[in-house]
Structure 1
Amino acid sequence: MIVITAPTGNIGRHLLSRLLEAAPAAGEELRVIVRDPARLPDAARGRVEVVTGSHAEAEVLDRAFEGADAVFWLVPPDASLTPQDAFSGFTRPAAKALAAHGVGHVVGVSALGRGTPLADRAGLVTASLAMDDLIAGTGVAYRALASPSFFENLLEESDSIREKGVFTDTVDADRKAPLVAVADLAAAAAGLLLDRSWTGTGSVPVLGPQDLSPNDLARIMTEQLGRPVRYERQPLDELYTTLVGYGLNEAFVQGLVDMKRAKDEGLDAGVARTPDTTSPTSFEQWCAQTLKPAVLS
């Protein structure tokens, strides 16, 4: 039995689709934790066991983890909380339930940076790495999918790209770093969940096919969209003021700013790209398949 949290989110929906294809041949049963079962895809109807509720709640987790062999763990972002509460605080009931029900394997979504000098001052990333330690401390076999920034973050900029030909971030325009498609992260998760021959704890970097800078992204978007796209760098203090002005938790915003600063200082650059850490979807492919329809709609 594989339990999937956040099955209707960006990563979870790709993972659920992959597992629905592979689970019958592998003899696996699937169970999902979801607040609104109506949001599940039609392909899942009658093929997955549904536990309705939030995976932050102990009672929901007790029902979901009963008899489970493996769990996909993803913490949804909650900017109303401190980084520690948003990650470890959210995960603490799950850690207790994993131990109580003897779940053998967990695959979680985390971040790059462990072992680097920046890891303890990287805001949300630091909090995510502490969450990994919390899960690993339960005694389960654990693999943290160590991911860089997602291509999908640019979908939040689709209006600006459409209307102004501009996207923003806070890193240097020529700072090259790995980026990844969420579908590739889901594929890595599916492989680990279906073949549970691994033991112990560790991280699995998923780095995409190449490092890209904001200027590289602008060039590729210009080519793929057939219209000029340029990058504008936003100062960190301006980002902080803007987000706090929206009413977000100040500690969470500071955690986001600290993460952005660490990424600009090379947080994501510490893992070598090898055949094992390279994922297939290029930014060109992602632009053509995902960004272009969103911008031109």
Structure 2
Amino acid sequence: MIVVTTPTGHIGRQVLDHVLAAGRPVRVVVRDPAGLPAEVRDRVEVVPGSHGDPDVVARAFDGADAVFWLVPADRRAAGPVEAYREFSRPAVEALTGQRVVGITALGRGTPLAGHAGHVTGSLAMDDLIAGTGVPFRALAAATFMDNVLRQVRGIKERGMLFDAVSPDHVQPMVARRDIAAVAARLLLDDTWTGQEEVPLLGPENLSGNDVTAIMSDVLGFPVRYGQVPGAAFKEQLIGAGLSEAMAQSMLDMAIAKDKGLDDGVTRAPRHAIDTPTTFRRWCEDVLKPAVEAA
């Protein structure tokens, strides 16, 4: 039995699709079972509720062999450690030796990791899981290409992409679909043991200016990159509904990335094999249809 958390989320639903396609028995933890497509509900065992609830995870993990673990950050949390580590504590206490595949972030081992907002919280969560001694694969993902989708309307109407990171800073980027594929592969493989961090870098490093040049070419109209000053970036996030602490966490993460948080892993051929989607291909497959439909 494989347990999938966040089965209606951007990554979780793709993980679920892969696991179901392999014919394995699946149990999902979901706040609102109605959010699952009817054809999926008929093929899975549903445990309703939050995977931060002790009773829910105890039921979900009972008799399970593997767990896909992803924490959606609480926009109103008191801070990133509370959003990630403390949310995960009930699940960690419910583990009884299951293999765990979790989604986390790059940055471990760098001087910036302790002051990197959401990343710091994610790494604290990983330490909590690892402390149980269960077999664990922490999928340390680079910046998601898919984050661009948050700005589809601005891209279409103004030809602009905004972020707090410097326009010339080069960093790895990865597609969510590649992350889901790696997670599903590990969930379906019952031969691995021990604990390991698996960096998911995508096939190339790109700057903000590189990204908008590719977008311009694929979309057929010019898109420019605009760097948002830190204070304005934080205020925009608070205006969008984040708590002050979580807005600061997002800013801290952006600052750390700009200083090289994601540069600690040396790129190897394995990274392009595990996460093959280029940004251009992602733009052709995902961004262009989204912009045309906006």
Under TM normalisation by the shorter chain, which class is it?
over 0.9
What is the TM-score of this pair, normalised by structure 2?
Answer: 0.96
Summarize deviations over 1:170-201 as a string: whole Å, max 9, x none. 11111111111101000110111111322222
The amino acid that maps onto 1:94 is A
Match for residue 70 of structure 1 among 54, 66, 69:
66
C-alpha distance in 2 between matches for 1:258 and 1:269: 16
Summarize deviations over 1:230-251 as a string: whole Å, max 9, x none. 1000011111122234452212
C-alpha distance in 2 between matches for 1:211 and 1:10: 23
1:123 Cα offset (Å): 1.3
Counterpart position of 2:281: 285
What is the TM-score of this pair, normalised by structure 1?
Answer: 0.95
C-alpha distance in 2 between matches for 1:272 and 1:43: 42
* Structure 2, gaps ≥5 residues long: none
C-alpha distance in 2 between matches for 1:187 and 1:58: 28
C-alpha distance in 2 between matches for 1:33 and 1:262: 33
C-alpha distance in 2 between matches for 1:177 and 1:247: 28
Does the CA contact (< 8 Å) of 1:104 and 1:140 recur in 2? yes
Summarize deviations over 1:243-276 as a string: whole Å, max 9, x none. 2344522121111111100000011111122222
Does the CA contact (< 8 Å) of 1:65 and 1:103 recur in 2? no
Counterpart position of 1:47: 43
Counterpart position of 2:108: 114
Summarize the Cα distance change of 1:156–1:246 in structure 2 as closer, same or farther, 3 Å threshold: closer
C-alpha distance in 2 between matches for 1:33 and 1:282: 32
Counterpart position of 1:12: 12
Summarize deviations over 1:78-135 as a string: whole Å, max 9, x none. 110011110011001001111xxx2321000000000111111111101110000001
C-alpha distance in 1 between matches for 2:15 and 2:62: 21
User: Is 2:72 the counterpart of 1:90?
Assistant: no
Counterpart position of 1:265: 259
C-alpha distance in 1 between matches for 2:161 and 2:100: 36
Number of residue pairs aligned between Structure 1 and Structure 2: 290
1:206 Cα offset (Å): 0.9
Counterpart position of 1:36: 32
C-alpha distance in 2 between matches for 1:69 and 1:35: 22
Match for residue 155 of structure 2 among 158, 161, 182:
161
C-alpha distance in 1 between matches for 2:62 and 2:207: 45
C-alpha distance in 2 between matches for 1:196 and 1:133: 22
C-alpha distance in 2 between matches for 1:190 and 1:248: 31
Three-state SS of the structure 2 residue aligned to 1:115 is: coil
The amino acid that maps onto 2:90 is P
The amino acid that maps onto 1:212 is L
Q: How does 1:1-297 map to 2 (within 5 A)?
A: 1-22=1-22, 24=23, 28-81=24-77, 82-98=79-95, 102-278=96-272, 279-297=275-293
C-alpha distance in 1 between matches for 2:157 and 2:67: 42
Does the CA contact (< 8 Å) of 1:71 and 1:105 recur in 2? yes
Three-state SS of the structure 1 residue aligned to 2:11 is: helix
C-alpha distance in 1 between matches for 2:52 and 2:259: 33
C-alpha distance in 1 between matches for 2:271 and 2:63: 32
* Structure 1, gaps ≥5 residues long: none
The amino acid that maps onto 1:17 is D
Percent of pairs with identical residues: 54
